[in-house]
Structure 1
């Protein structure tokens, strides 16, 4: 990011929070990554979205989050229209308390699954862009290739090539009218308006119409790679089915439906792991290597065996 975006973003957060020129509330940087910078002032959060974000598409996504029909599912923005900051698109949100990363046993898997099922069952408004999940996999592969030759890249690229064209963002997704989040993980849930408030889904950057299996793919991939305990995966899947989620059959084996998306998220995770380790000039850690090993196994596995690709 440019050196003047963060101070400007702080100023916009303060201005959105209240009219006073100064107050005792501190300014907190919640995230500063390639895909977005987020700051908090009092109970207001300002997010500078990734460079190149389409303001019109983001405005349509913000309108969906503000729709009263989705109240209690998506956190509503404070303003429907984004603003410009030095060429970056900025949106404003109420602050919510995130999932505690230090207390994984309290992870709200059932709540996340239920919110997803409700989102997937909601009518998708006309004019909403496609869900951006496949595009994120393609960007992760581009980051991997930018690293240059790397000993761990071959199985990841082999698994990437084995994906169908739609999962590589090289063709249209299967025909669907399902409203999808596009990037579901536990970091996308917050309690609002306080620590005891109800959970909501956040981050609409990838929201759109698409294949709902994508929203189940990250926990499915973690489970398949041995990174999510079976009991937690079962809690998540059972809650999604109980809430009437349409991405998988109500009974029976869910993996024929989840296979492609789970493989794609494994590729994305592995590609980013290599890119980050290379940028930080460090070896791959045990978790990163496990995901890369899964790519090696699944690229040679028969179709519809995503739950076996880490074995």
Structure 2
């Protein structure tokens, strides 16, 4: 890879990203399924995804590093976290709408693998449980138990499946390095067939928790609808379609917060507590709905 420590863009158990000049190399997670990984790369390189997903740089064979597949990509400009007012919510929503509308038969065989979003949510719960008892875990567990089986990764997603990103947040966008290059989606690790509302669920969960301003949520949702996105109706209330996925992302975020706080031996911060409070509200609502009307 590259010996310059300043070139390391990310170093996590699920992926190490290193920049070298105009290219970025990513060592994917240990145990990555080679068949699914190859299929996801083929999707990203397909002409139908041009202008939607950043395409990998050509490689005859997938190199490996310590048993981890390595892919190489053009280096793009990420979203600036210090300029939240410039966050490209409209671009993100439009790219998602275009991704969800990709005609699957035109991609050719083999079909893309399942989208891994619900599997990641289940892994977040497993990581939280692995740290042992934590006082904040109870509302998270109750909210998790109230999710439909598909949102916990136990059964296939409803609706037959569309092409989904699987882990949408603003860190998954970069500007293409060409002059005046467009915003593009990156990170294929969770790409696949699934329920498209999952890709809207993290912003929806942040909005419901009060962490995303109403005007930003409306910009995102409005741009998705304007681009013909199929995850929600063109008008009216979007929440019947978004609710289960938004609850799942709330639980996933809260579970990871508890796990990381316990692993690092620190208290939960304000944002983390907000997501856990959201889980408590979800759990209370589920209890009330399950109990039915008073006799």
With normalisation by structure 2, the TM-score equals 0.92
Question: Are the aligned partners of 2:146 and 2:286 in contact in 1 as well (CA < 8 Å)?
Answer: no
Displacement of 1:197 in angstroms is 1.7
Call closer, same or farther: CA 1:148–1:190 in 2, change over 3 Å: same
Call closer, same or farther: CA 1:281–1:27 in 2, change over 3 Å: closer
- The one of 87, 93, 98 equivalent to 2:67 is 87
Task: Return the alpha-carbon distance in structure 1 between the equivalents of residues 124 and 62 of structure 2.
Answer: 26
Once the two structures are superposed, the pairs formed by residues 8-157 of structure 1 within 5 Å of their partners are 9-10=1-2, 28-79=7-58, 81-124=61-104, 125=107, 126=109, 127-157=111-141
Task: Return the alpha-carbon distance in structure 1 between the equivalents of residues 99 and 114 of structure 2.
Answer: 15
Paired residue for 1:187?
171
Paired residue for 2:220?
236
Unpaired runs of 5+ in structure 1? 1-8, 12-24, 306-311
Partner deviation per Cα, 1:189-244 (whole Å, 9 max, x = no partner): 00011574210000000000110000000000000000000000000000000000
Task: Return the alpha-carbon distance in structure 2 between the equivalents of residues 171 and 50 of structure 1.
Answer: 24
Matched, 1:223 2:215: no
Paired residue for 2:293?
none
Count, aligned residues: 283
Q: In angstroms, what is the RMSD of aligned CA positions?
A: 1.7
Unpaired runs of 5+ in structure 2? 290-295
Task: Return the alpha-carbon distance in structure 2 between the equivalents of residues 210 and 151 of structure 1.
Answer: 33
Task: Return the alpha-carbon distance in structure 2 between the equivalents of residues 50 and 188 of structure 1.
Answer: 17
Task: Return the alpha-carbon distance in structure 2 between the equivalents of residues 29 and 52 of structure 1.
Answer: 22
Paired residue for 1:207?
191
Once the two structures are superposed, the pairs formed by residues 155-194 of structure 1 within 5 Å of their partners are 155-194=139-178
Asked which structure has the greater RCO (Cα within 8 Å, sep 6+), the reply is 2
Task: Return the alpha-carbon distance in structure 2 between the equivalents of residues 94 and 265 of structure 1.
Answer: 30
Task: Return the alpha-carbon distance in structure 2 between the equivalents of residues 170 and 255 of structure 1.
Answer: 22
Paired residue for 1:247?
231
Task: Return the alpha-carbon distance in structure 1 between the equivalents of residues 237 and 57 of structure 2.
Answer: 41
Task: Return the alpha-carbon distance in structure 2 between the equivalents of residues 148 and 302 of structure 1.
Answer: 25
Displacement of 1:26 in angstroms is 8.0
Task: Return the alpha-carbon distance in structure 1 between the equivalents of residues 273 and 94 of structure 2.
Answer: 31
Paired residue for 1:19?
none
Displacement of 1:55 in angstroms is 1.6
Task: Return the alpha-carbon distance in structure 2 between the equivalents of residues 268 and 278 of structure 1.
Answer: 15
Task: Return the alpha-carbon distance in structure 2 between the equivalents of residues 302 and 168 of structure 1.
Answer: 16
Displacement of 1:280 in angstroms is 1.2
With normalisation by structure 1, the TM-score equals 0.88
Task: Return the alpha-carbon distance in structure 2 between the equivalents of residues 174 and 82 of structure 1.
Answer: 33
Displacement of 1:36 in angstroms is 0.5
SS in 1 for 2:113: coil
SS in 2 for 1:10: coil
